[in-house]
Structure 1
Amino acid sequence: MPSNVPTFAQLLQACEFSAVHLELRDAYAPTERFEAWRRGERIDWDDRVSWWHPYDQLITDTVARGVVIRRARIISEPVSEYIRWEHYVTHANVTAGEQVRWLPRRRTTDLSLPGNDFWLFDNRLARVHHFDGNGAVVEDEITDDPDLMPHLAASFERVWARAIPHQTYKI
């Protein structure tokens, strides 16, 4: 990313009240953590030091400042192997302070949704993720387009209202 584009940490640190993340894909580029899970390795959730990452601390610190962080995932059912893994590791997101919900794709037909995953900060600035066909990030676009912000905010809220809380959604 060019140096004038804020990092994710900078975007969260500037956030005052709300950060929301909408995920639309059934799979993303594999990571080492995903591959380890596929090999049967499991996280010892009681050993927080072994799995706690700087991202988790960033979320915790942001929530401690009073920022509400919500993540909604639109998923196909039956779920992909990747989504099964994401559901498993969402324990870390929730422990860090995120609110997470899941929405089966079949319940979204009447919703007007953006074509890309995004983060929306305080309903005024968006980080839009552009992926290649294999789920790797090609570019993160930062925008404050005043015509786009209401659409992203409304799309997220419609999904959030229908989605199932993580603690309730069973794979």
Structure 2
Amino acid sequence: MHLELRDSYMLDDPAFLAWQDGQRPDPADRSSWWGGWHDAVSQATARGVVVRRVRIVSEPLSDYVRYEYDTTFTNIAAGEQVRWLPRRQAKDLLVPGTDLWVFDEETVLFHHFTGDGQLAEDGREYVSDPALAKHCADAVETIWQRAVPHDEYRPA
């Protein structure tokens, strides 16, 4: 399970800059956008692992989140399930304070970003704690249940 909470990440990302200049990845030209991340997700899902990503987003979407929306077809092609939850619809939920991955019943990876969206120098924090993993998994599951599947979400 992957929870994303920010309205922007790494604004100097070359793919994002190209998108801002009007370049769009071609879904039919898989070799132009498929990479190591897609291989890892594809291999995991082939083993029966369910990979889910949920994004809590402000509306109207920031340019960066619109870029993510436009390129989510790559996540789905790799086997991820993706959902979106407008931030206003999350107001009554208890949400973790930072982006995270829940890998299993005890491992959580927290991502810590700087104010301008860069991954902090020590931004990857792996925590092995069954109680915390359950707490995070329960929170993400609640968010997931409320969120809109990618193919149904129409950004404001």
TM-score normalised by L of structure 2:
0.95
Q: Distance in 2 between matches of 1:152 and 1:123?
A: 10
| Per-residue CA distance 1:128-151 (angstroms, 9 max, x = gap) | 001100111111000012331121
- Residue 160 of structure 1 corresponds to 144
Task: Name the % identity.
Answer: 48
Q: Distance in 2 between matches of 1:112 and 1:123?
A: 20
Corresponding letter in the other structure for 1:140: R
Residue 54, structure 1, aligned to residue 43, structure 2: no
Q: Distance in 2 between matches of 1:75 and 1:28?
A: 13
Match of 2:2 among 15, 18, 21: 21
Q: Distance in 2 between matches of 1:146 and 1:41?
A: 43
How many residue pairs are counted as aligned between the two chains? 152
1:85-124 matches, within 5 Å, as 85-124=67-106
| Per-residue CA distance 1:21-78 (angstroms, 9 max, x = gap) | 0000011112100000000111111111111111101100110011000000000011
Runs of 4 or more consecutive aligned structure 1 residues displaced over 2 Å after TM superposition: none
Alignment check: 8 A CA contact 2:102 2:109 kept: yes
Match of 1:145 among 106, 129, 144: 129
Alignment check: 8 A CA contact 2:25 2:33 kept: yes
What displacement does 1:123 show? 2.8
Q: Which runs of 5+ in 2 are unaligned?
A: none
Q: Distance in 1 between matches of 2:52 and 2:127?
A: 20
TM-score normalised by L of structure 1:
0.87
- Residue 131 of structure 1 corresponds to 113
Q: Distance in 2 between matches of 1:125 and 1:64?
A: 21
What displacement does 1:105 show? 0.4
Q: Distance in 2 between matches of 1:137 and 1:44?
A: 28
